[in-house]
Structures are given as C-alpha cells and as structure tokens.
Structure 1
C-alpha cells in the first residue's frame, strides 16, 4: 500500500497538466477527466520502475488515450454523415454545465476549440502537443505512429487550418475586428446606443430558420429594428468571440466550446452593413472557420 500511495501522490502532481492536455485535445471536460482517469489506471496496473520521466510518460499515455477517443468520435461522425447531429446542449443556460468547463473554454478560446474539432485525430494530437505544449516531434511521432518528419507535416497542416486563409489584407482585418468587437461589447452590456454606433442605417439582419424562434422573421432591416433585436442575442453574447468566417471577421457563439451559431458579418468603412445568423448544422459544417490571433502559443 505504501508504494501505491506514493505512486498516487506522484500522479496527483501531474494531474492538472494532464487534464489541460486532454481538454485541449478533446474539447470536453468530462472526456478529459475520463482520459486522465484511464491514465491513472494504466499507471497503477503497470510496471514503471524503468520510467525516468514520469510526467513525460503520463503525457504520452494520455495522448494515446485521447487519440483513440478522437478516432472513435470521427468514426461515429462518419456513421452519422448525411444526418443531422443531435444537439446535446440546446440551451446553455439550462444545461447544468460546470462553471469550470466554461472557464476552460474561455482560457483556451472558443474559436480555437471549434477549429481544433475540425482537425483529423492525428493532426489535432500533433498540433496540440507541439504548438501548445512544446513537445518535440520525435516524442510525438510514436504516439501518432508516424515518422518525426511526417509528424512535423501533420502539425504544419493543422497549423494552416487553425490560422485559416484570410481573404483580406491585415490592416483590413484589424479594422473589421475593431468594429466587430465594438458590436460584441455593446451587445453584451445591452447598450442599444452603442450597437447603433456600429450599425449602418440601412443594415440588414438575415438568418436561417434554425437560428430563430418560430415567431421571428428571417430578415430585419434598419438600424433601430436590428439594434432592438440585439437584446435577444445578448444572452448568448457571453459565449461569443470574433473569428475568421470564410476569410473575413465574423463571430462564433460556442457555449463550452460547442459551436451553436455563427454571425457572418459584412463591414463597410466603420459600420456593419449586414450580418447573417447561421445555425443550421449543414451550413455550419460548410463554413471555413479559423482563429484570429496567436491563441495557440505553447503553454501549460
């Protein structure tokens, strides 16, 4: 029992980092905790007498478990291809979601979690370990069953997907982001006058039917009418952040890192002239989404 207790104490010193690694790979706190628990069981059952770096060994084990979970998830998605994915959390205010998971999603970045979820399993593992935790490629290669050179290419391909391909010059993206962030700030505080300052007088709000209650029109015109509608969006704006949407600055709404809604925004000058609410699962899947900034720097 003394040896087992010592092993448990050693494991606990690594638990938080393992959980962070697993969460960034899986985007789900419950699944991350499952992966960490499985790593503990493998440690408790195994012979680690020859392990010189327990933290590195555990990171490898957790990464392999996460890779298997991601592959299983990808297989289920293929089986459901052509069918609407079930919405497991339709109302973020009534989901009972742990506050800790909301904080984790906030710390990682909702847009980044969404884009990571669109990577292949091996791409995601290689990218997370190298770009977010600075693990060398020669240590990642055995986990994803590739050569170091191929693993480096996996991470590079993932990096391109995460960063996207902006359709506009950098200065234009900065200007658009300034306008979109002003819109979000005003929306979050319910500041109608603040919203009006960034809306063009003849702004148009369009939406697919899945994004709206049954009694709401799919098109609204005019700054005052659109601004007054913002109150309805305000309850979800705390889950929103700017992202690249089809190469331009838009907004993703992702409670706990789960994509629920995208605002495709059109900015002309310093005003929003139009935006579209997109919630239909098939349309969301077709969007080209990417992060806007360097939220992917190595860290623990």
Structure 2
C-alpha cells in the first residue's frame, strides 16, 4: 500500500489516483491519517481483501504529512560512517537519539522559511511504527513497522550547536523543519526495504547520495535499542539518520539561501520538494 494524506483525509494512492479510505470502507475507518496506525491489523486486513474503486487525480501540492500527529518522533544522529567523519565525530557505539518536535512536521511540498543563515539539509529515511514495540529483538523488529517514508531533518546549525550545551532538538524543530511524505509505503511494496537509494539535490545539483544499507544501526537495531528503553507506539516516527554531503561538513561550509529548491528522494517511495524563502530571524543571545 501507498498511504497518504490528501487535504487532511486518509487516502490510498493507486495507479488510478487517490482513493478516500472512509468512503471506500463505508465508514469502517475514519479520515484521520494518523489514527489508522492504531487500527493497523484491521486496516491491512481490510485493504488486502477489498477491491478498491478508481482513484481521483490529485496534485502533489494537496498532500499533507502522511503521519501529521505522531505521538513520538525519534531522530538518530551520525548513523552513516561518512557523515560521522565529515562531522568530526568517532563512529557511535550506541545510536545518538534526539527528537524533532511535532510542530515541525509538514507535508512533502511547500515553502521552507529560513530563520537564519545556517540552515542545513539532511535527507533521511523515516520509519512509521505500526504495532507497539516494547523489548523487541532486532530479529522481530520489522513486524512492528507499518511502512517507510521520506524525510528531511532540516537543521539550523547555529541554534543546534550553541554553547555550552548543544540544543539539537530546538535547532531541528523550527516550523517546516520535518517534511515527510509523499506517502508511507508498506514493506511488501519494496524489493528490499533495508537497501534503498537515498539522495538530495539543491537547484538540480546533487549533494547527497547513498544507500540505506550503509546505516551503522539498521532499522531493526534501532527498534531494538529504542524499545529497550520505552515503548514505541503505532504512528511513532523514527528519522534514521543522514548520509554524508550536508552543508556543514563542507569546506567552505554551505547553507541554504532564499530561492533555492531542495529535492529529497528515496527509491521506491518518492520525493520531497521545498522552496527556500526568507523567515523570521531568531537569536541565540541570552537576555537574562
């Protein structure tokens, strides 16, 4: 399945277009794109046994975040060796974890308001949890995944790295800093969900390209490590980390400026597209 949020309503994307789930199921499932993950076994059983009607055409600009209200958002740092190296860190022995606050989540296409002069890009594969995971072994972890989507972990590096204590979660949570989409793709739709090409370009210039099989901590290990500490709930998101090629790792450093377009893609899932526009400037200076 390819699950999307079309103008705030849960849809399935087929070869013919978008099928409204509430209408197709005759009310068995509601229109809320996030709620469906709490009904995941029933929903997948219905979808597998139902002949869907023809879908309607739509424009990508109508798509919202396919999971607009996750309960928890986990983000993993330094999960590709080349990115750890370009960032000046040793390879981690445990997944470095932070969050992107929920209000930063947005849809796959739109404007990205730049709050400062050091906004960076980070293409990421995002996991959507479909079944509660608590003390789950890596060998069983895929059973708890509803699907995968594309994400961007936009980062305001000045806010993120302000001394003396870095503010990763704040620096990565300005409005629009967590676009996801365009769809959530279930694992059966992908030849190998553990090995997908991922990339990012700016104004047509490729700046990142890798394969998700290069992850230091693969998806099953991330679920094992996270679920050993706290339960992962249906609809939770895991941003799995970014490959090398970010602006802050370049010499000289390169950051986003108004007028640039960022295209982020993952094989078999789709692409995000943001146009950079001026935003409200922020300050990291203390007033106390």
Is TM more than 0.5 here? no
Q: Under TM normalisation by the shorter chain, which class is it?
A: under 0.3
Q: Indicate the structure (1 or 2) with the bigger Cα radius of gyration.
A: 1
Using structure 2 for the length normalisation, give the TM-score. Answer: 0.25
Structure with the higher fraction of residues in strand conformation: 2
